[in-house]
């Protein structure tokens, strides 16, 4: 089930909210667990046993680790949990990729279906068993609370990746208030607006430009890259906003996953602002255990290579994702070697433009899986042979130009500045609910009319 659907907005969500608030507090976690499973199993009920098995085994192993006083025994339980969790992820997501590259794809009768959100909930449960092993958090006593944490439907499919320690207290002692409800609805509708009114049109522009038989020209190719850059931001940050808004409707505070990444003035800062919970996961569970930057530049470069190769692979079982991860490894290593002080001497505006151009080029690597098509598109970005812009590409770009400009503005922290300047005025206080209602009407109309409505990160 998708958040951006009429069934979810007008049937599932109202029914779950009504049941949640009618029930006594002690029944709310079991009710949420049931709602989580209905949400997850709506389109793919055959994968429910996989996620339930993962939850049960990791809860049991967490309990066993907590009861062990011998470090060696605790390590054996940890290895067992990691073998199960990462083994399921590899089996479902990478088996076909490995066999294809070995020339053994004939061993599989067909493509292996990928459970929704397996990359996200696997990383979430791996963080739990590692934190229990390290004594960073206690093991959860209740299987219901643990399963409710692992399958929490607002962030189950595409994050943010929430650690058990962040929700532990909220699972037992959260407070639902009218203020949270109001803020949750506003955030939910803001995210839905990002998705329906900006991400989807930008995706249509990106796909339209790529499909032109006679090419786009240099400006047309960069316009396509800009469109995909905006699509993936508004798509994923919109989902994260909806997840956080839905969490507040049930009294939960989920971590922020985006902080205006296209306002960054370096690649390092970009990754402090983009998909924050994933960056933090790799930092704490891969980069730091490898030694981080504490053992000299050679070890630091090695650790960065491992982290970014894994980051690319996490996003997808295709070589373009590996290339995308290695691309960021090269950029981040170059920034580290140059040093922040040297980079800071460049004009601020130049750093902003250069960072955004490098990020947009990276999204081209990310967005095109076919090697031949990827090579042709990269060539069109830099080759003058196709001209400045083709007639067909110009028609596409001019048709979407107002939305391109709106997306470029709204990807910057404009709303933050407005809240700081006018946050206490009556006009803004009344404008928020009025704007939310307008978003609901516009998004409902878009949902009823649009056939193109993907969530890009669902496939990861």
Q: State the catalytic residues.
A: 315
Question: How far, in Å, CA of 345 to CA of 355, rounded?
Answer: 15
C-alpha neighbours within 13 Å on the C-beta side of residue 437:
4
Q: How many CA atoms lie within 13 A of 325 on its CB side?
A: 20
CA dihedral 328, 334, 338, 339 (to 10 degrees): 30
CA-CA-CA-CA torsion sign (356, 231, 440, 277): negative
For helices 200-210 and 391-410, the axis angle rounded to 10 degrees is: 150
- Segment holding 135, helix H or strand E: none
| Cβ-based burial of 240 (10 A; exposed 0-12, middle 13-18, buried ≥19) | buried
Which two tokens mark 305? Answer: 């290579």
Which long-range CB contacts under 8 A does 109-114 form with residues at least 24 apart?
113/44, 113/47, 114/459
- CA dihedral sign, ordered 39, 40, 46, 51: negative
* Residue reference for tokens 């919109």: 238
Q: Is the separation of the CB atoms in 250 and 176 below 8 Å?
A: yes
Q: Quick one: which of 181, 71, 77 has its CA closest to 128?
A: 77
């Amino acid at each position: 089930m998708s958040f951006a659907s009429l069934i979810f907005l007008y049937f599932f969500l109202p029914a779950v909210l009504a049941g949640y608030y009618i029930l006594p507090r002690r029944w709310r976690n079991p009710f949420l667990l049931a709602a989580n499973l209905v949400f997850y199993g709506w389109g793919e009920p055959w994968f429910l046993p996989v996620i339930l098995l993962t939850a049960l085994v990791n809860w049991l192993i967490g309990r066993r680790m907590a009861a062990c006083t011998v470090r060696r025994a605790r390590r054996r339980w940890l290895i067992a949990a990691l073998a199960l969790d990462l083994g399921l992820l590899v089996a479902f997501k990478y088996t076909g990729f490995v066999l294809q590259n070995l020339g053994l794809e004939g061993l599989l009768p067909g493509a292996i279906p990928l459970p929704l959100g397996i990359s996200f909930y696997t990383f979430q449960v791996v963080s739990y068993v590692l934190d229990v092993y390290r004594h960073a958090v206690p093991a959860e006593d209740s299987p219901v609370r643990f399963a409710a944490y692992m399958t929490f439907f607002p962030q189950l499919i595409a994050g943010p990746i929430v650690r058990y320690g962040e929700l532990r207290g909220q699972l037992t002692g959260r407070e639902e208030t009218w203020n949270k409800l109001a803020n949750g609805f506003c955030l939910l509708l803001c995210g839905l607006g990002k998705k329906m009114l900006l991400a989807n049109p930008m995706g249509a522009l990106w796909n339209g430009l790529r499909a032109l038989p006679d090419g786009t020209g240099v400006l047309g190719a960069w316009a396509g890259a800009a469109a995909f850059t905006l699509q993936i931001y508004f798509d994923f940050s919109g989902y994260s906003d909806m997840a956080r808004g839905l969490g507040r409707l049930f009294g939960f505070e989920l971590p922020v996953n985006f902080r205006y990444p296209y306002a960054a003035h370096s690649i390092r800062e970009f990754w402090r602002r983009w998909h924050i919970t994933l960056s933090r996961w790799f930092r704490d569970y891969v980069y730091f255990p490898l030694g981080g930057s504490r053992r000299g530049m050679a070890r630091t470069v090695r650790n960065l290579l491992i982290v970014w190769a894994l980051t690319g692979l996490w996003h997808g079982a295709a070589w373009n994702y590996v290339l995308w991860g290695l691309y960021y490894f090269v950029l981040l290593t170059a920034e580290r070697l140059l040093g922040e002080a040297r980079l800071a001497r460049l004009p601020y505006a130049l750093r902003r433009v250069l960072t955004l151009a490098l990020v947009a080029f990276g999204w081209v690597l990310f967005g095109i899986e076919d090697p031949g098509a990827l090579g042709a598109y990269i060539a069109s970005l830099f080759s003058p042979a196709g001209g400045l812009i083709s007639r067909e590409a110009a028609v596409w770009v001019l048709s979407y130009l107002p939305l391109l400009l709106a997306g470029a503005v709204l990807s910057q922290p404009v709303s933050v500045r407005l809240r700081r300047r006018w946050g206490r005025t009556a006009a803004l206080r009344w404008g928020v609910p009025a704007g939310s209602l307008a978003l609901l009407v516009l998004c409902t109309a878009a949902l009823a009319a649009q056939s193109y409505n993907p969530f890009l990160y669902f496939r990861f």
